[in-house]
Amino acid sequence: MKTITLATGLALTSTSATTAVTLRDTPLLPYRSATVEVEVAGATGTTTMLIEGSENGGTSYSTLATISIPAASPGIKTAIKAYPLVRVRNSLSGAAGTANVYLEAV
């Protein structure tokens, strides 16, 4: 199984987007099924992350998954259809904590 890091040590205290990752290596290729894994540490409050993808080189992004993570949760996994570019955006910030976000081939 192949894993790509989308974000490490992502602060959950602000709304921001990470730099997009280009998918071009087998088995993580665009338009294939993948699993997003989010690991959370030290979170207080609920945070909401958007996994976003771009088909046009980063000019615009579509939401591939919305992940709401309560403070007591150590993390979550969800399935997506990968796009050529994938990034993470905090849409609702928590009071504290960090997250690591990974994309795994299915």
The pLDDT tens digits for 79-96 are 999 999 999 998 877 778
| Model confidence, pTM | 0.92
Place of tokens 């992502």: 10
CATH code matching the domain that covers 3-105, chosen among 3.40.50.300, 3.40.630.40, 2.60.120.1110, 2.60.40.10: 2.60.120.1110
pLDDT at 50: 94
Q: What confidence score (pLDDT) does residue 1 get?
A: 72
Is residue 47 within 8 A of residue 90, CB to CB? The reply is yes
Phi then psi for 57, rounded to 5 degrees?
A: 75, 15
Residue 13: Cβ within 10 Å count: 17
Instruction: Name the E strands within 12-106.
Output: 21-22, 33-44, 47-54, 62-69, 75-81, 85-92, 96-105
pLDDT tens-digit profile of 18-68? Answer: 999 999 888 888 999 999 999 988 888 888 899 999 999 999 999 999 998
